[in-house]
Amino acid sequence: MHENNPPPKLVDSHVHLDDEAFAVDRDAVIERAGQAGVETMIVPAVDAGSWPRIKALCADHAGLHPAFGLHPMFLPHHLPAHVDALSACFDGGGAVAVGEIGLDFHMDGLDHELQRYYFLRQLELARERELPVIVHARGALEEVSLTLRRTGGLRGVVHSFSGSEQQARQLWEIGFHLGIGGPVTYPRAQRLRRIVAQMPIEFLLLESDAPDQPDAAHRGERNEPARVAEVLRCVAELRGESAADIAAATSANAHRLFGLVRRDN
């Protein structure tokens, strides 16, 4: 007699579950994720207003872990005083990373110098607190990599990585992970697929970035964390390895980076 095997346990290393896109069915989204094997999720913040919302959400659901930060795309929402307030968010524990932070030179109208100010101050905070960072780098990957290297004493992930082989290598040479999600499932993403196929597995994290960046089969739809299972299947195929092995390795990477307590199998 043949029993159905449960799906491999996965970590969604980047999901904005507090987003308004999930307002009507958030609990169902979390349930579907669990059914797909995605039992552990990192929920990064984007601005000071999102911190209490994310803290409450993660307190209400086992397996959800908060990260607090000031996202560069939300620059108009930030004040210098928010960085001081951010430090207090990490008092008492619970948060697993400083994030989402970084630089975005792709979006028009965001002052580059002001972005650098917030990015550097948050990197310093992460180093002081000995916390990993979750980094956004759009149109600014070279500068982000140089800043991480120059600052030193940091660990973390560049989420939704979309750079070159050389840029990928520069990141894992300083111990940084690459967050890989829906974009890798698109056949046209040849460079990204080549990097994922060949990169050291110990620097690979899976993510959804939901509600954004759905996989190729759900293009144009709201993304959700259950679809990390689709990313897993694609990565396993690209690497010629079993989905179970990729799931085990990437989940171990996330547990190690974010200091998560393992659940019983």
Task: Note the pLDDT of residue 262.
Answer: 59
DSSP for 170-189, please give it: HHHHTTEEEEE-GGGGSTT-
Q: pTM of the entire structure?
A: 0.96
Contact 17, 225 (CB under 8 A): yes
pLDDT at 73: 95
Which residues touch 134 (CB under 8 Å, ≥6 apart)? Answer: 14, 42, 44, 67, 69, 97, 98, 99, 100, 101, 156, 157, 159, 179
Which of the 8 DSSP states describes residue 160? T
Q: Which tokens sit at 21?
A: 């896109």
pLDDT for residue 92? 78
Please answer whether residues 106 and 139 qualify as being in contact, where contact means their C-beta atoms are separated by less than 8 angstroms.
yes
Domains and CATH numbers, the chain: 10-258 (3.20.20.140)
List, for the chain, all residue ranges whose pLDDT scores fall below the cut of 70: 1-3, 262-265
* CA torsion through residues 85, 87, 88, 90, sign: positive
Residue 210 backbone zone (phi > 0: left; psi -120 to 50: alpha; other: beta):
beta
CB atoms within 10 A of CB 16: 23
